[in-house]
Amino acid sequence: MSRMPVLREPSVAATGTNLRVFGALLWRRRLVMALVVALVAAVIAIGLALAERQFTATARVAVTPSPELSQTLVEYDTLLSTMADVAVNRPLLSQVSAAIGTRSLVQLQDRVQSAVVTGTVVVQVSVTDPDPQVAAQVANAVVAALPAFALDNGQFVFTVIDPAATPTDFTSPNIKISVLAGALLALALGVAAAVVRDRVSRTVDTPEEVAEATQGLGVLGVLPRPVDAGGVSATDPDSAEFAALRALRVALEFASSDQPTRTLVVAPAVAGPWSGWLEVNLAVSLAEVGHRVLVIDAHRGDRRRHPALDAPGKPGLYDMLATGVPVGEVALPGPVDGVAVVPLGNPDLAAPSLLEMRIRRLMEEIDPQYDVILVHAPPVTESDDARIIGIDGAVLITIPAGRVKRDVLVKAVADLRVVPIRTLGAVLLGTRRR
């Protein structure tokens, strides 16, 4: 017999994690939330300032039976309720309207209310009006006219026990309730706006977000924003980039220890402002520990490549693809000993399809004196070049912090996994310095 599934309640730890994630979301979008709260608060404040003040005046009259009236208690309660109805009937209010002269019958029908005070013989008449004096005047006029319209043949005695006084405080709008309701509304709208904004324009900024978006792809390194996007920080032991590059180099060695690879294609998820910086500095970091590194520029559309890769007019990769010129004739000295650079060359010599046709043979023919071949590839969201070059090697995807949306990164990684390409890991580049 199969066992019944055991239903488990959400753990406290899971709940705490969800709360932390939600709190982090609100913190990321705190400016959006604050702006929405401020706008809603301003609208409510303006509305309250412009809203017409209403004043309520109340008069009370005791309606007691005369000694000659012989009615049961139930019948008397019914008659008393009828007296309250008389206070708001059309004939009585018409007379009051004529006497006051400033309020029409229709206005009085909307503003006059009457009811029997529970457990008493008192009829209460309440009048709400923008003018506090008019409110009191109408309330007193209604209770004064009530005996003439009662049609009780003198069987009731009407005694005004509490005439209406001119109110000093308005009753509408209710400032406290309005402010409280407005604050709750502003907070709810602010949170909603923060959530919507985060979902629509959320970018990947932390290693945790990278791991989540890449569905378990290892985050091999987190590098701060380069102080100099055209510099070589790997030669400066005092720089924050130096330590981060060293950590990345060690992580790469561990990640490839079980399945060593000679060719590593470095491709960003989307275009960023540090194009080629990581490839050059990683090559220098590898050379510092004795590796012989060749950096190949394969990014056709790069308009701001690292100076170490920029060699206008020099033959390079596409000259090799088109004419078969060997690496030794196009390789240039790198920033340090142990690093050589193959520039892009003249891409007009070869159609883009030539890369797909000849790159594998070209990689096989590169002098085995190089221990590592680092390829500077275009973004994986813009080109298939990284997939084509990385077929016999591995791909390292770089993620410019705060510049790629989560959904875009998810799709980019999914597209890489469609073909049998080894993706070694991810690097988060350009995090804010703390």
Residue whose C-alpha is closest to residue 225's, from 240, 210, 236, 238: 240
Average pLDDT over residues 286-290: 94
Q: How many angstroms separate the Cα of 167 from the Cα of each of 100, 113, 130?
A: 18, 16, 11
DSSP code per residue over 288-326: TTT--EEEEE--TT-SS--TTT--TT---HHHHHHH---
pLDDT at 126: 95
Residue 411 pLDDT level (bands cut at 50, 70, 90): confident
| Res 153: pLDDT | 65
How does DSSP classify residue 203? B
> Which pTM value belongs to this model?
0.61
User: What pLDDT shows up at residue 414?
Assistant: 84
Indicate if the alpha-carbon torsion angle 389, 391, 395, 400 is positive or negative.
Answer: positive
Pick the CATH number of 55-162 from 3.40.50.1100, 3.40.718.10, 3.30.70.1130, 3.40.47.10: 3.30.70.1130
Amino acid 260: pLDDT: 87
Mean pLDDT score, 283-289: 95
> φ and ψ at 201, to 5 degrees?
-125, 25
pLDDT in tens, 231-251: 999 999 988 899 999 999 999
Of residues 380 and 215, more confidently modeled: 380
pLDDT digit string, tens, across residues 99-133: 989 999 999 999 999 999 888 889 999 999 999 99
Region 216-242 average pLDDT: 89
Domain ranges of the chain: 25-51+173-201, 55-162, 207-431
Q: Mean pLDDT over residues 254-270, rounded?
A: 90
Output the pLDDT for position 216.
75
**13 pLDDT above the threshold of 70:** no
Closest alpha carbon to 230 in 280, 285, 303, 190: 280
- Highest mean pLDDT (candidates 66-70, 82-86, 105-109, 348-352): 105-109
Q: To which residue do tokens 């510099």 refer?
A: 231
Strand order of the β-sheet with 372-376 is 219-224, 423-431, 394-400, 263-268, 372-376, 293-297, 339-342, 332-333
Name the strand (E) or helix (H) holding 113.
strand 112-116
Mean pLDDT of 66-82: 65
pLDDT value, residue 289:
93
Mean pLDDT of 81-109: 91
Percent of residues, the chain, with pLDDT higher than 70: 92
Mean pLDDT along residues 190-195: 88
User: What dihedral do alpha carbons 212, 214, 216, 221 form, nearest 10°?
Assistant: -90
| 296, 375 Cβ separation under 8 angstroms | yes
Interatomic CA distance for residues 335 and 164, integer angstroms: 94
State how far the Cα of 429 lies from the Cα of 299, in Å rounded to an integer: 18
Closest residue by Cα to residue 284 from 211, 338, 364: 338
Does residue 269 have a pLDDT over 80? yes
Q: What pLDDT shows up at residue 8?
A: 46
Q: How confident is the model at residue 7 (pLDDT cuts 50, 70, 90)?
A: very low
What is the spatial distance between Cα 272 and Cα 268, in angstroms, rounded to a whole number?
8
**How confident is the prediction for the chain on average, in pLDDT?**
86
Is residue 59's pLDDT more than 90?
yes
Say whether pLDDT at 163 is over 60. yes
Contact predicate 127/64, CB 8 Å: no
How do beta strands 122-129 and 112-116 pair? antiparallel
CATH for 207-431 is 3.40.50.300
Query: For the residues 395-405, what does the mean pLDDT come to?
Result: 89
Judge whether residue 69 has pLDDT over 80: no
**388-406 burial, b if ≥16 CB within 10 A, otherwise e?**
bbbbebbbbbbbbbebbbb
